[in-house]
Structure 1
Amino acid sequence: MPVKRPLVGRPVVPVERVGPPPHVAREQALIRRPWVWPALLTLVIALTGMSRAQLWRDELATWSAATRPVGDLARLAGTIDAATGPYYLLMHGWVALFGDSTIALRLPSVLAMAGAAAVTARLGERLVDARTGLLAGLLFAVLPGTSRYAQEARPYALATLLAVLATLLLVEALRRPSWPRWGGYAAAVAALGLIHLIALTLLAAHAVAVLLVQWRGPTSIGLPAGRDWSGPARLWRWLVALLPALVLVTPLVLAARAQRSRQLDWVDLARLTDLPALPGGVTQSGAVGGLLLGLAALGAARLGRRALLPGACVLLPVALVFAAGLVVPLWVPRYLVFTVPFGCLLAGAALAGVRLAPALAVVVLAGLLGAPDQAALRHTHEWPRTATVDYRGAARVIADHQQSGDAIVFSPRDSWLFLDLGIAYRLGSREPRDVLVVRDQRQRADLWAGECDRPAECLAGVRRVWLVVAGRRNDPLATVRGAKGAALRDGFTVQQVWPRPGLTVALLTR
């Protein structure tokens, strides 16, 4: 039998492992699912200190509406705030399940912003590449404005999510047209209109994209052409997809138009000087807004035609709302928060032009620039940040010193500060009797209660009155106007005053 000879003297050739360099492998692992990290980062940042700032006036309106029976909620929409009615209905169901604590009221917005960060990353991946999507989502997550509206019980976070989702679904329907994809887009647009009417200005950008694809093909907006384009999108399919939104939103538009003079009586007409302040307004930081604007401009230049859709999703809503705001009082920066993810997508494209490490360093820089504003917005949601209204402190004073039979009076009663709602939210059933009210908010189908015409008669038999007035006042009783002020001054004297940020509490006795 043959004898095997040992392999003596033969050189041993080492086997090299084939694979990417370590830094490339780490990057590939990071961008494999680019939507995960922005969503997690948004959750971490937004959940941090989410209940530290107390509910402010707009959130108190949400609480007042969401805690009413559905019938009363429908009557409220017929009186004021019809445009926000669907959001109030959504929050009514949420409150029924999870309660009305500050955390419970704000949690839907936190989840919506986390979803918006994830969908922004997904949209960036679809339009450009995974790295662009990742950086766009991460940049969106660290913006102070993202935390600000994630920590607010108002519809802006949901509108932001739906705006990006509708755009992503449009891209999918344009890439591979089918009725199920157009159906998903139709549902997203209808929901967007129900949650935030002004966000429907986004459809102007969608119209531009659809028309260009219809006439010049998918490459006109930077989308790839190929077998997926065997059934090209048709303009009429897009128009049909808008029909559900048209049917559902038209009644809201008509009701909101009739209520505009009352709903927006605090808004001024737009001015050209308002435009430079918009980036800082929507991001809640002038420094971060300027950085985002610069990066977005660089990203648009780098992307070329691929920047058309996200660029239009920023510029056209801003232009339309500003133009309308020149004629009717409509220009409020937070109404345009839904455009921020598209600006982040363009900025992410600029950062994607360098290696991942320096790109992430810019994201960290944006977070550091916004850190002071992140801390400030967790102190108060009022603007300026020094304009805190301390409903919690006022309620604590009353709870610590009240006696059986005490009454409470507010001045002014019909302001947007909602002094009565702020105290009622904190004290609940422990609140002293609101002695001047003859019809409360629910009975009036309004956000304000109605008071009696003869205050002196309504105050008869009351021994002690808690007076809550807006602003810090040395003589709060002197600030109450009309018959209410006269009745209080004739029948009571000030026993003690507790000044609090944004308001003053006084104890009056006979």
Structure 2
Amino acid sequence: MSRSPERRRERLAVLVPAAVMAAIGLWGLDRGGMWRDEAVTFQVARRSVPQIWHLLHSVDAVHGLYYLLMHPVLAVRPDEVLLRLPSVCGAAVAAGLVGALGTRLCRPRVGLWAGLLYAVTPMVGHYAQEGRSYAMVAAGVMGATLLLVRAVRDGGRWWPYGVLVAVTCVLHEFAVLVLLAHACTLALARAPGKVWRGWAGAAGAVVVVLLPLVLVSHAQARQVAWLTAPDAETAGQLVEQFAGPSPGVLWPCLALVATAVWTPRGRRGVSLSAVALPLVLVPPAVLMEVSQIHPLYDDRYVLYALAGAPLLAAAGLDRVAGALGRVAGTSARLRPGGRGRPAPGTPLGAGTAAGGPGA
């Protein structure tokens, strides 16, 4: 049988969410004004490269790579549309990668649903139209997660994963928390020692690359002195941003997530829940816990973790749809005249055992 229909569905699961996200991001992109952080990006990125480099020695080192990337963009035309366009592209790429990850870990319809859920989440749309690095960081994290799955399942090389994680972490250093999420994924998947060694080598290289930036940004920590320690209300607000802003959306989404997470014990391998659950939980939880001692938490710093929620919700919806389909199929077979209805006097299940229509 030709795989062309299946390939078409796989492509649609990636392209449709990316297109929807791009349309949402481009809608009203020219708002006629910039907020404070966007204005900082606009002013810094328009300086010369030596001037940007000199600035980073005293302030904003954590955003240094982003400013350098935005410098040639704003050189084309310095306006707010060009300022935000890289974020729109980053969000669109992230939505497509969510679709690709759901397809790889489950099936095309799960990827399609997950990508669309990601695209229509208000928090994603907000940062897709903001001239900062967070949407691009989310795209980098999703790409790295897809490379992790490929390396574990196919036994591929680890250097592409390490390179992408390193670049993403230099783009914003708090993306390094995704390494902890990926370690939990390998633990849940019961990965063999060879996989752990490959991942540890890549993760160690990322830490070495990131260490100088961490030291410099630590000396500039006064920039985030306005942050406060998160509390239970902060955690609740993040749940609403990730899963739904209203009870009518939030509770069904959480129910679908719980449905996806429930898995019979004893399974091995990289499953969707083993990837998505640590992604959505570990980075925010770790950053909130660290922030009890040294406040560093802000919801935008863990935007990339949001992708785990639509992946789990789509997987839960797939399970519900599958169960309803099986119930409907059974009811159809048992109705009078149904194809699978046993003849009078035939024990139920005999047709299945003999390889008859019930099978």
| TM-score (normalizing by structure 2) | 0.80
Is the 8 Å Cα contact of residues 149 and 157 (structure 1) preserved in structure 2?
yes
Is the 8 Å Cα contact of residues 122 and 241 (structure 2) preserved in structure 1?
no
Structure 1 residues 166 and 293, CA gap change in structure 2 (3 angstroms):
same
Deviations 1:465-508 (A, max 9, x none): xxxxxxxxxxxxxxxxxxxxxxxxxxxxxxxxxxxxxxxxxxxx
Is the 8 Å Cα contact of residues 148 and 161 (structure 2) preserved in structure 1?
yes
1:92 aligns with 2:71: yes
**RCO comparison, higher one (Cα < 8 Å, 6+):** 2
Is the 8 Å Cα contact of residues 177 and 233 (structure 1) preserved in structure 2?
no
Structure 1 residues 178 and 71, CA gap change in structure 2 (3 angstroms):
same
Is the 8 Å Cα contact of residues 282 and 336 (structure 1) preserved in structure 2?
no
1:338 aligns with 2:304: yes
1:199 aligns with 2:175: yes
Is the 8 Å Cα contact of residues 166 and 185 (structure 1) preserved in structure 2?
yes
Identical aligned residues as a percent: 35
More helix, by proportion: 2
1:184 aligns with 2:160: yes
Aligned position for 2:294:
328
Distance 1:126 1:101 in 2: 39
Is the 8 Å Cα contact of residues 211 and 235 (structure 1) preserved in structure 2?
no
1:318 aligns with 2:284: yes
Aligned length: 315
Is the 8 Å Cα contact of residues 210 and 238 (structure 1) preserved in structure 2?
no
Aligned position for 2:12:
33
Q: How does 1:3-402 map to 2 (within 5 A)?
A: 30=9, 33-52=12-31, 54-96=33-75, 98-179=76-157, 182-211=158-187, 217=192, 233-260=194-221, 262-281=222-241, 285-286=245-246, 288=249, 292-301=253-262, 306=271, 307-355=273-321
Aligned position for 2:351:
none
More strand, by proportion: 1
Find the residue that maps to 1:80 and give its secondary structure: coil
Is the 8 Å Cα contact of residues 99 and 111 (structure 2) preserved in structure 1?
yes
Distance 1:311 1:301 in 2: 11
Distance 1:62 1:244 in 2: 29
Structure 1 position 277, deviation (Å): 1.1
Which has more radius of gyration? 1
Find the residue that maps to 2:319 and give its secondary structure: coil
Distance 1:104 1:42 in 2: 17
Structure 1 position 286, deviation (Å): 4.6
Aligned position for 2:329:
none
| TM-score (normalizing by structure 1) | 0.58
Deviations 1:208-267 (A, max 9, x none): 233455x555xxxxxxxxxxxxxx84322212212442232111101111111x211211
Distance 1:289 1:318 in 2: 18
Give structure 1 stretches of 5+ with no counterpart: 1-24, 218-231, 359-510
Distance 1:286 1:77 in 2: 41
Distance 2:11 2:207 in 1: 39
RMSD between superposed Cα atoms in Å: 2.6
Structure 1 position 29, deviation (Å): 5.9
Deviations 1:429-451 (A, max 9, x none): xxxxxxxxxxxxxxxxxxxxxxx
Give structure 2 stretches of 5+ with no counterpart: 325-359
Distance 2:250 2:134 in 1: 18
